[in-house]
Amino acid sequence: MDNLRFYMVTYNVATKQPEQDLHKLVGFEDLKSSETLPDFYVVGLQEVKSQPQNMVLDSIFDDPWTNAFREVLAKMDYVKVKTVRLQGTVLNLFCLRKHLIYLRDIETQYTRTGFRGLWGNKGAVTVRLSIYGCSICVVNCHLTPHDHLLQQRIADYDTIVRAQSFRAKETSSIFFHDYVFWIGDMNFRLLEGPSATEIDELVGRGELTRLLAKDQLRYVMAMGEAFGELEEPLPTFPPTYKFEFHTSLYDLRRRPSWTDRMLYKVNANVYENITLKVEQLLYRSIDSYTQSDHKPVVGEYIVKVFSDYYERVVEFQPIDTWIIDEENSVSYTLATDVRPTTWDWIGIFKEGFAGLEEYLCYVYVMRGLQGADAAGLSRTVVFPLTAVRAPGSYCLLYFSDHSASVLGMSRPFVATLPPGTAPSPLGTAYTDSFQ
Protein backbone atom coordinates (compact mmCIF):
# COMPACT_ATOMS: atom_id res chain seq x y z
CA MET A 1 0.00 0.00 0.00
CA ASP A 2 0.98 3.63 -0.47
CA ASN A 3 0.92 6.54 1.98
CA LEU A 4 -0.96 9.80 1.49
CA ARG A 5 -0.46 12.81 3.75
CA PHE A 6 -3.40 14.96 4.80
CA TYR A 7 -2.83 18.38 6.37
CA MET A 8 -5.89 19.72 8.19
CA VAL A 9 -6.80 23.14 9.52
CA THR A 10 -9.71 24.16 11.73
CA TYR A 11 -10.14 27.84 12.52
CA ASN A 12 -13.01 29.86 13.95
CA VAL A 13 -12.34 33.22 12.27
CA ALA A 14 -14.89 35.19 14.32
CA THR A 15 -16.39 36.90 11.24
CA LYS A 16 -13.06 38.65 10.52
CA GLN A 17 -11.57 39.00 7.05
CA PRO A 18 -8.17 37.42 6.30
CA GLU A 19 -5.50 39.76 7.65
CA GLN A 20 -2.46 37.65 8.51
CA ASP A 21 -0.23 35.71 6.14
CA LEU A 22 -1.38 32.10 5.85
CA HIS A 23 1.94 30.43 4.97
CA LYS A 24 2.63 29.45 8.57
CA LEU A 25 -0.90 28.17 9.03
CA VAL A 26 -0.54 25.75 6.10
CA GLY A 27 2.92 24.70 7.24
CA PHE A 28 4.91 26.09 4.33
CA GLU A 29 7.43 27.77 6.63
CA ASP A 30 8.42 24.35 7.96
CA LEU A 31 8.81 22.65 4.57
CA LYS A 32 12.31 21.47 3.74
CA SER A 33 11.55 20.87 0.05
CA SER A 34 8.65 20.42 -2.35
CA GLU A 35 9.06 16.66 -1.89
CA THR A 36 7.65 16.99 1.63
CA LEU A 37 4.39 18.63 0.51
CA PRO A 38 1.19 17.05 1.85
CA ASP A 39 -0.94 15.34 -0.78
CA PHE A 40 -4.18 16.94 0.45
CA TYR A 41 -5.22 19.99 2.43
CA VAL A 42 -8.49 20.09 4.35
CA VAL A 43 -9.49 23.55 5.60
CA GLY A 44 -12.44 23.79 7.99
CA LEU A 45 -13.62 27.29 8.93
CA GLN A 46 -16.28 28.51 11.29
CA GLU A 47 -17.93 31.91 11.68
CA VAL A 48 -17.04 33.08 8.20
CA LYS A 49 -18.96 36.30 7.77
CA SER A 50 -22.42 35.36 6.56
CA GLN A 51 -24.67 38.39 6.60
CA PRO A 52 -27.34 38.32 3.86
CA GLN A 53 -25.35 40.50 1.47
CA ASN A 54 -22.31 38.23 1.90
CA MET A 55 -24.32 35.05 1.33
CA VAL A 56 -25.60 36.34 -2.00
CA LEU A 57 -22.07 37.02 -3.22
CA ASP A 58 -20.66 33.81 -1.74
CA SER A 59 -23.29 31.74 -3.53
CA ILE A 60 -21.62 32.92 -6.77
CA PHE A 61 -18.02 33.44 -5.67
CA ASP A 62 -15.86 31.88 -2.98
CA ASP A 63 -15.68 33.67 0.34
CA PRO A 64 -12.53 35.73 1.11
CA TRP A 65 -11.04 33.03 3.35
CA THR A 66 -11.40 30.31 0.71
CA ASN A 67 -9.85 32.64 -1.86
CA ALA A 68 -6.95 33.43 0.48
CA PHE A 69 -6.17 29.74 1.07
CA ARG A 70 -6.52 28.96 -2.63
CA GLU A 71 -4.09 31.74 -3.56
CA VAL A 72 -1.45 30.43 -1.15
CA LEU A 73 -1.89 26.76 -2.05
CA ALA A 74 -2.03 27.36 -5.82
CA LYS A 75 1.60 28.53 -5.70
CA MET A 76 2.57 24.98 -4.75
CA ASP A 77 0.37 23.35 -7.47
CA TYR A 78 -2.68 22.55 -5.35
CA VAL A 79 -6.15 22.55 -6.91
CA LYS A 80 -9.34 23.23 -5.00
CA VAL A 81 -11.48 20.12 -5.44
CA LYS A 82 -14.58 21.09 -3.49
CA THR A 83 -16.11 23.73 -1.22
CA VAL A 84 -19.25 23.22 0.85
CA ARG A 85 -20.76 25.97 2.98
CA LEU A 86 -23.54 26.26 5.57
CA GLN A 87 -23.77 29.96 6.45
CA GLY A 88 -20.57 30.59 8.40
CA THR A 89 -19.29 27.00 8.37
CA VAL A 90 -17.06 26.24 5.37
CA LEU A 91 -15.10 23.16 4.34
CA ASN A 92 -12.52 23.19 1.54
CA LEU A 93 -10.63 20.25 0.02
CA PHE A 94 -7.44 20.84 -1.98
CA CYS A 95 -5.12 18.27 -3.57
CA LEU A 96 -1.91 18.23 -5.55
CA ARG A 97 -2.68 18.35 -9.26
CA LYS A 98 -1.20 14.89 -9.86
CA HIS A 99 -3.96 13.28 -7.77
CA LEU A 100 -6.95 14.80 -9.58
CA ILE A 101 -7.73 11.87 -11.88
CA TYR A 102 -7.76 9.43 -8.96
CA LEU A 103 -10.61 11.15 -7.11
CA ARG A 104 -13.94 9.35 -7.31
CA ASP A 105 -17.52 9.80 -6.14
CA ILE A 106 -17.12 13.28 -4.68
CA GLU A 107 -20.18 14.28 -2.67
CA THR A 108 -21.13 16.94 -0.11
CA GLN A 109 -23.70 17.22 2.65
CA TYR A 110 -24.71 19.75 5.26
CA THR A 111 -26.85 19.57 8.39
CA ARG A 112 -28.44 22.45 10.29
CA THR A 113 -28.63 22.12 14.08
CA GLY A 114 -29.29 25.73 15.07
CA PHE A 115 -32.71 26.58 16.48
CA ARG A 116 -33.86 22.94 16.42
CA GLY A 117 -32.56 22.36 12.92
CA LEU A 118 -34.20 25.37 11.30
CA TRP A 119 -31.17 27.64 11.16
CA GLY A 120 -27.68 27.04 9.83
CA ASN A 121 -25.70 29.17 12.28
CA LYS A 122 -24.69 25.86 13.85
CA GLY A 123 -24.31 22.46 12.22
CA ALA A 124 -21.90 20.56 9.97
CA VAL A 125 -20.65 20.41 6.39
CA THR A 126 -19.15 17.26 4.92
CA VAL A 127 -17.15 16.11 1.91
CA ARG A 128 -16.82 12.42 1.05
CA LEU A 129 -14.90 10.83 -1.78
CA SER A 130 -12.81 7.83 -2.75
CA ILE A 131 -9.06 8.27 -3.20
CA TYR A 132 -6.99 5.50 -4.77
CA GLY A 133 -9.74 3.05 -3.93
CA CYS A 134 -10.24 4.02 -0.25
CA SER A 135 -13.25 5.99 0.98
CA ILE A 136 -12.72 9.09 3.09
CA CYS A 137 -15.27 11.30 4.84
CA VAL A 138 -14.40 14.69 6.37
CA VAL A 139 -16.83 16.54 8.65
CA ASN A 140 -16.40 20.16 9.74
CA CYS A 141 -18.79 21.21 12.51
CA HIS A 142 -19.74 24.17 14.68
CA LEU A 143 -21.73 22.95 17.68
CA THR A 144 -23.81 24.68 20.34
CA PRO A 145 -21.75 27.00 22.61
CA HIS A 146 -21.71 27.76 26.36
CA ASP A 147 -20.49 25.71 29.31
CA HIS A 148 -23.89 24.51 30.51
CA LEU A 149 -25.27 23.29 27.16
CA LEU A 150 -23.36 20.01 27.05
CA GLN A 151 -26.48 17.96 26.34
CA GLN A 152 -27.28 20.14 23.33
CA ARG A 153 -23.82 19.47 21.89
CA ILE A 154 -24.45 15.75 22.30
CA ALA A 155 -27.80 16.19 20.52
CA ASP A 156 -26.06 18.12 17.70
CA TYR A 157 -23.67 15.23 17.18
CA ASP A 158 -26.49 12.68 17.10
CA THR A 159 -28.42 14.81 14.60
CA ILE A 160 -25.45 15.13 12.24
CA VAL A 161 -24.67 11.40 12.30
CA ARG A 162 -28.30 10.45 11.77
CA ALA A 163 -29.13 13.05 9.12
CA GLN A 164 -26.21 12.73 6.73
CA SER A 165 -26.41 10.07 4.05
CA PHE A 166 -24.59 9.57 0.75
CA ARG A 167 -25.34 8.04 -2.64
CA ALA A 168 -22.40 5.61 -2.59
CA LYS A 169 -24.02 2.33 -1.54
CA GLU A 170 -21.27 0.91 0.66
CA THR A 171 -20.60 4.24 2.35
CA SER A 172 -24.08 5.62 2.81
CA SER A 173 -23.33 6.88 6.36
CA ILE A 174 -20.43 8.81 7.85
CA PHE A 175 -18.96 5.92 9.81
CA PHE A 176 -19.23 3.43 6.94
CA HIS A 177 -16.17 5.05 5.31
CA ASP A 178 -12.68 3.58 5.52
CA TYR A 179 -11.40 6.81 7.05
CA VAL A 180 -13.35 9.50 8.91
CA PHE A 181 -11.96 12.84 10.05
CA TRP A 182 -14.12 15.07 12.23
CA ILE A 183 -12.84 18.61 12.82
CA GLY A 184 -14.23 21.95 13.88
CA ASP A 185 -15.28 24.25 16.68
CA MET A 186 -16.99 21.61 18.78
CA ASN A 187 -17.50 24.08 21.63
CA PHE A 188 -16.87 21.54 24.39
CA ARG A 189 -15.77 23.30 27.56
CA LEU A 190 -14.52 22.13 30.97
CA LEU A 191 -16.70 20.41 33.53
CA GLU A 192 -17.63 22.40 36.62
CA GLY A 193 -14.69 23.28 38.84
CA PRO A 194 -11.86 25.76 38.22
CA SER A 195 -12.64 29.38 37.50
CA ALA A 196 -11.32 31.25 34.48
CA THR A 197 -8.48 32.74 36.54
CA GLU A 198 -7.53 29.34 37.97
CA ILE A 199 -7.52 27.80 34.49
CA ASP A 200 -5.26 30.60 33.25
CA GLU A 201 -2.85 29.97 36.12
CA LEU A 202 -2.77 26.21 35.47
CA VAL A 203 -2.09 26.82 31.78
CA GLY A 204 0.73 29.17 32.73
CA ARG A 205 2.29 26.41 34.85
CA GLY A 206 1.90 23.89 32.01
CA GLU A 207 -0.55 21.70 33.97
CA LEU A 208 -2.62 20.84 30.90
CA THR A 209 -3.23 17.20 31.80
CA ARG A 210 -4.93 18.27 35.02
CA LEU A 211 -7.28 20.49 33.04
CA LEU A 212 -7.93 17.93 30.29
CA ALA A 213 -9.21 15.54 32.95
CA LYS A 214 -12.21 17.90 33.09
CA ASP A 215 -12.59 18.26 29.31
CA GLN A 216 -16.22 17.73 28.30
CA LEU A 217 -15.35 16.11 24.97
CA ARG A 218 -13.17 13.44 26.54
CA TYR A 219 -15.86 12.92 29.16
CA VAL A 220 -18.67 12.25 26.65
CA MET A 221 -16.37 10.02 24.59
CA ALA A 222 -15.55 7.92 27.65
CA MET A 223 -19.23 7.73 28.60
CA GLY A 224 -20.22 6.70 25.06
CA GLU A 225 -22.60 9.65 24.72
CA ALA A 226 -20.97 11.25 21.65
CA PHE A 227 -17.87 10.91 19.47
CA GLY A 228 -17.20 7.48 20.98
CA GLU A 229 -16.53 6.05 17.51
CA LEU A 230 -13.59 8.42 17.05
CA GLU A 231 -10.22 8.89 18.69
CA GLU A 232 -8.01 11.83 19.55
CA PRO A 233 -4.54 11.87 21.07
CA LEU A 234 -4.45 14.03 24.18
CA PRO A 235 -3.87 17.68 23.11
CA THR A 236 -0.49 19.04 24.16
CA PHE A 237 -1.38 22.63 23.29
CA PRO A 238 -3.11 25.19 25.56
CA PRO A 239 -6.86 25.87 25.40
CA THR A 240 -7.75 27.50 22.08
CA TYR A 241 -10.57 29.74 23.33
CA LYS A 242 -11.31 32.48 24.41
CA PHE A 243 -8.66 35.12 23.64
CA GLU A 244 -8.72 38.89 23.57
CA PHE A 245 -8.62 39.97 19.93
CA HIS A 246 -5.16 40.63 18.48
CA THR A 247 -3.44 39.15 21.53
CA SER A 248 -2.52 35.79 23.03
CA LEU A 249 -4.07 36.72 26.38
CA TYR A 250 -7.17 34.88 27.55
CA ASP A 251 -10.36 36.88 27.89
CA LEU A 252 -11.21 35.74 31.40
CA ARG A 253 -14.87 36.66 31.08
CA ARG A 254 -15.08 33.08 29.75
CA ARG A 255 -13.36 29.96 31.07
CA PRO A 256 -10.58 28.96 28.63
CA SER A 257 -11.26 25.63 26.94
CA TRP A 258 -10.29 23.35 24.07
CA THR A 259 -13.16 24.11 21.71
CA ASP A 260 -11.24 23.49 18.47
CA ARG A 261 -10.48 19.83 17.86
CA MET A 262 -9.59 17.08 15.37
CA LEU A 263 -10.65 13.46 15.72
CA TYR A 264 -10.42 10.49 13.40
CA LYS A 265 -11.53 6.91 12.86
CA VAL A 266 -10.20 4.12 10.67
CA ASN A 267 -12.11 0.97 9.79
CA ALA A 268 -8.90 -1.00 9.69
CA ASN A 269 -10.02 -4.47 8.65
CA VAL A 270 -12.65 -3.98 5.96
CA TYR A 271 -10.45 -5.49 3.22
CA GLU A 272 -9.16 -9.04 3.18
CA ASN A 273 -5.45 -9.42 3.99
CA ILE A 274 -5.01 -5.62 4.22
CA THR A 275 -4.92 -3.41 7.31
CA LEU A 276 -5.75 0.26 6.91
CA LYS A 277 -4.02 2.71 9.21
CA VAL A 278 -3.87 6.36 10.29
CA GLU A 279 -0.69 7.84 11.72
CA GLN A 280 -0.88 11.30 13.25
CA LEU A 281 2.27 13.33 12.63
CA LEU A 282 1.15 16.68 14.03
CA TYR A 283 -1.54 18.12 16.30
CA ARG A 284 -1.07 21.65 17.60
CA SER A 285 -2.43 25.16 17.79
CA ILE A 286 -0.65 28.17 16.31
CA ASP A 287 -0.34 30.95 18.84
CA SER A 288 0.85 33.67 16.42
CA TYR A 289 -2.58 34.04 14.76
CA THR A 290 -4.37 36.68 16.80
CA GLN A 291 -7.15 38.19 14.69
CA SER A 292 -9.80 35.87 16.18
CA ASP A 293 -10.76 34.98 19.74
CA HIS A 294 -9.84 31.38 18.79
CA LYS A 295 -6.44 29.93 17.90
CA PRO A 296 -6.30 27.80 14.74
CA VAL A 297 -5.52 24.11 15.18
CA VAL A 298 -3.64 22.06 12.59
CA GLY A 299 -3.08 18.33 12.23
CA GLU A 300 -1.19 16.14 9.79
CA TYR A 301 -1.99 12.51 9.12
CA ILE A 302 -0.67 9.64 7.01
CA VAL A 303 -3.30 7.25 5.63
CA LYS A 304 -2.79 3.98 3.79
CA VAL A 305 -4.32 3.60 0.31
CA PHE A 306 -4.04 1.03 -2.45
CA SER A 307 -0.88 1.23 -4.53
CA ASP A 308 -2.26 -0.76 -7.49
CA TYR A 309 -5.41 1.33 -7.92
CA TYR A 310 -6.54 1.73 -11.54
CA GLU A 311 -10.15 2.39 -12.36
CA ARG A 312 -12.32 4.37 -14.77
CA VAL A 313 -9.76 6.39 -16.71
CA VAL A 314 -10.13 8.57 -19.80
CA GLU A 315 -7.08 9.26 -21.94
CA PHE A 316 -6.97 12.27 -24.25
CA GLN A 317 -5.10 12.08 -27.51
CA PRO A 318 -2.45 14.81 -27.89
CA ILE A 319 -3.77 18.10 -29.28
CA ASP A 320 -1.39 19.41 -31.93
CA THR A 321 -3.16 22.63 -32.83
CA TRP A 322 -6.01 24.68 -31.38
CA ILE A 323 -7.06 27.63 -33.47
CA ILE A 324 -8.99 30.44 -31.79
CA ASP A 325 -12.30 31.41 -33.42
CA GLU A 326 -12.54 28.03 -35.13
CA GLU A 327 -14.22 24.78 -34.17
CA ASN A 328 -11.67 22.41 -32.64
CA SER A 329 -12.10 18.67 -32.18
CA VAL A 330 -10.77 16.57 -29.31
CA SER A 331 -10.41 12.78 -29.33
CA TYR A 332 -10.22 10.59 -26.26
CA THR A 333 -10.35 6.93 -25.29
CA LEU A 334 -12.51 5.45 -22.56
CA ALA A 335 -11.27 2.58 -20.43
CA THR A 336 -13.53 -0.46 -20.68
CA ASP A 337 -15.06 0.19 -17.24
CA VAL A 338 -16.13 3.76 -18.09
CA ARG A 339 -19.82 4.08 -18.89
CA PRO A 340 -20.50 7.61 -20.14
CA THR A 341 -23.86 9.16 -19.36
CA THR A 342 -25.83 11.95 -21.01
CA TRP A 343 -24.48 14.53 -18.60
CA ASP A 344 -20.76 13.66 -18.64
CA TRP A 345 -18.78 16.64 -19.87
CA ILE A 346 -15.34 17.82 -20.91
CA GLY A 347 -14.19 21.23 -19.75
CA ILE A 348 -11.40 23.42 -21.00
CA PHE A 349 -9.21 25.12 -18.38
CA LYS A 350 -6.24 27.44 -18.40
CA GLU A 351 -3.05 25.55 -17.60
CA GLY A 352 -2.30 25.96 -13.91
CA PHE A 353 -5.98 26.33 -12.94
CA ALA A 354 -6.50 26.49 -9.17
CA GLY A 355 -10.02 25.08 -8.86
CA LEU A 356 -12.28 22.57 -10.60
CA GLU A 357 -14.92 25.26 -11.05
CA GLU A 358 -12.62 27.39 -13.25
CA TYR A 359 -13.61 25.89 -16.61
CA LEU A 360 -13.87 28.34 -19.52
CA CYS A 361 -16.19 26.23 -21.65
CA TYR A 362 -17.56 22.69 -21.65
CA VAL A 363 -19.29 20.25 -23.97
CA TYR A 364 -21.34 17.19 -23.14
CA VAL A 365 -19.69 13.99 -24.31
CA MET A 366 -22.86 12.46 -25.73
CA ARG A 367 -22.64 15.06 -28.49
CA GLY A 368 -19.44 13.35 -29.57
CA LEU A 369 -20.62 9.89 -30.53
CA GLN A 370 -19.33 10.32 -34.06
CA GLY A 371 -16.07 8.50 -34.64
CA ALA A 372 -16.76 5.78 -32.07
CA ASP A 373 -15.03 2.53 -32.83
CA ALA A 374 -16.78 -0.85 -32.89
CA ALA A 375 -16.51 -1.18 -29.11
CA GLY A 376 -17.69 2.39 -28.60
CA LEU A 377 -14.59 3.31 -26.61
CA SER A 378 -12.88 5.92 -28.78
CA ARG A 379 -14.73 9.20 -29.32
CA THR A 380 -14.46 12.76 -30.55
CA VAL A 381 -16.12 15.96 -29.41
CA VAL A 382 -16.13 19.37 -31.07
CA PHE A 383 -15.72 22.59 -29.11
CA PRO A 384 -17.52 25.74 -30.32
CA LEU A 385 -15.83 28.78 -31.82
CA THR A 386 -15.94 30.69 -28.55
CA ALA A 387 -14.41 27.99 -26.34
CA VAL A 388 -11.10 29.86 -26.11
CA ARG A 389 -10.85 33.61 -26.60
CA ALA A 390 -7.15 34.35 -26.04
CA PRO A 391 -3.83 32.73 -26.94
CA GLY A 392 -2.22 30.71 -24.19
CA SER A 393 -1.74 27.28 -22.70
CA TYR A 394 -4.78 25.19 -21.77
CA CYS A 395 -5.82 21.65 -20.78
CA LEU A 396 -8.96 19.50 -20.76
CA LEU A 397 -10.65 17.57 -17.96
CA TYR A 398 -13.26 14.81 -18.28
CA PHE A 399 -15.97 14.87 -15.59
CA SER A 400 -18.28 11.97 -14.87
CA ASP A 401 -21.66 13.30 -13.81
CA HIS A 402 -22.91 9.97 -12.46
CA SER A 403 -19.97 9.36 -10.12
CA ALA A 404 -18.88 12.98 -9.60
CA SER A 405 -15.36 12.02 -10.59
CA VAL A 406 -12.49 13.46 -12.60
CA LEU A 407 -11.69 10.64 -15.00
CA GLY A 408 -9.07 12.22 -17.21
CA MET A 409 -6.84 15.25 -17.78
CA SER A 410 -5.10 16.10 -21.05
CA ARG A 411 -1.56 17.29 -21.50
CA PRO A 412 -1.26 21.07 -21.83
CA PHE A 413 -1.70 22.46 -25.33
CA VAL A 414 -1.30 25.88 -26.91
CA ALA A 415 -4.14 27.85 -28.47
CA THR A 416 -3.10 30.26 -31.21
CA LEU A 417 -4.71 32.89 -33.40
CA PRO A 418 -5.53 32.05 -37.01
CA PRO A 419 -2.91 33.12 -39.55
CA GLY A 420 -3.23 36.80 -40.45
CA THR A 421 -4.75 37.91 -37.15
CA ALA A 422 -3.40 39.83 -34.20
CA PRO A 423 -4.43 39.92 -30.55
CA SER A 424 -6.76 42.72 -29.53
CA PRO A 425 -6.17 44.73 -26.35
CA LEU A 426 -9.15 42.94 -24.78
CA GLY A 427 -7.69 39.51 -25.37
CA THR A 428 -10.00 38.43 -28.22
CA ALA A 429 -9.01 37.86 -31.80
CA TYR A 430 -9.70 40.18 -34.71
CA THR A 431 -8.70 40.13 -38.38
CA ASP A 432 -6.22 42.61 -39.80
CA SER A 433 -8.54 43.51 -42.67
CA PHE A 434 -12.14 44.60 -42.79
CA GLN A 435 -14.79 43.31 -45.16
One-letter amino acid of 233: P
- Indicate yes or no: pTM above 0.95: no
* pLDDT classification of 146: cutoffs 50, 70, 90: very high
pLDDT digits over 377-430, tens only?
788 999 999 999 999 999 999 999 876 899 999 999 999 998 877 655 544 433
One of 3.60.10.10, 3.90.78.10, 3.90.1300.10, 3.10.105.10 is the CATH number of 2-305, namely 3.60.10.10
Q: Is the pLDDT of residue 368 over 80?
A: no
For 82-126, the pLDDT digits (tens) are: 999 999 999 999 999 999 999 999 999 999 997 765 667 899 999
Extents of the domains making up the chain: 2-305, 314-431
pLDDT value at residue 190:
97
User: Does position 370 have pLDDT exceeding 80, yes or no?
Assistant: no
Give the integer Cα–Cα distance in Å for 368 and 396.
15
Judge whether 2-305 and 314-431 match in fold: no
What is the architecture of the domain spanning 314-431?
Answer: Sandwich (2.60)
